[in-house]
Amino acid sequence: MSLYHRGQRGFTLVEMAIVLVIIGIILAAVLKGGELIGNAKIKRFYNEQREIFAALYTYYDKYGYFPGDDPAASGRWPGVTVTNGNGNGLIAVGAASTAPNFACSGTGTEQCDLWQELRAADILTGSGFTNPTHPYGGAIAVSYYTMPAIAGGTALTAHWIHFQNVPYDVCQAIDRLYDDGNAGKGAIRGTADYMAATNGVYQLSFKF
């Protein structure tokens, strides 16, 4: 017995066109939604840097020293273990350039005591010495450090807020939006030239 019925017909060209238009609208909405989510994540990442910056200077305004560098920190909060800093104005080992430590676990260095002190002072949420993390999953560190000469720039020793394992395209977007678009110049820098990258993750550092 034939399953074909004389009255059956396929889609007309107009109906197919309408379906394709609807599919196109749905795809455009999905792509636009993904773009909006990506842009919001970049904005949240940048705002986290500003929040750390504000926390550092809130502590400085309150106690007269940067956290970690505070020479009276060990006596400020009963029951909280920290090591006094040397009070020289630098979050570092002495006056030397100090590479960022993204895996703090205890007292003894200014850049790790920094997190405990910010939390003990109720300026930063959380507890202990553990580094906070950013929206792309890497850790955050703060130190007085010499960023290397790369991408036609010159080395610069200063205080930096360092972000670990930032996707290359996010580094590029942040540098273009908020600085000069060069990984070796300005107030936003890297330890490698993320502006020339097409893949991978990089360290992104903000001068303060």
At 105-153, the pLDDT tens digits run: 999 999 999 999 999 999 999 889 999 999 999 999 999 999 999 999 9
pLDDT score at 36? 60
For the cut 60, the answer to whether the pLDDT of residue 6 exceeds it is no
Q: Is the dihedral of CA 196, 181, 143, 106 positive or negative?
A: negative
pLDDT score at 127? 87
- Please compute, for residue 52, the number of CA atoms within 13 A of its CA located in the half-sphere on the CB side: 25
Between strands 188-190 and 140-147, the pairing is unpaired
Average pLDDT score, the chain: 92
Does domain 39-207 fall under CATH 3.30.1690? My reply is yes
Edge-to-edge strands of the sheet including 140-147?
Answer: 140-147, 156-167, 201-207, 188-190
Q: What proportion of the chain, given as a percentage, has pLDDT over 90?
A: 80
At 34-57, the pLDDT tens digits run: 666 778 899 999 999 999 999 999
pLDDT score at 71? 98
Which pTM does this prediction carry? Answer: 0.83
pLDDT band at 4 (very low <50, low <70, confident <90, very high): very low
At 21-32, the pLDDT tens digits run: 788 788 777 776
Per-domain residue ranges for the chain?
39-207
| Chain CA centroid to CA 186, Å | 17
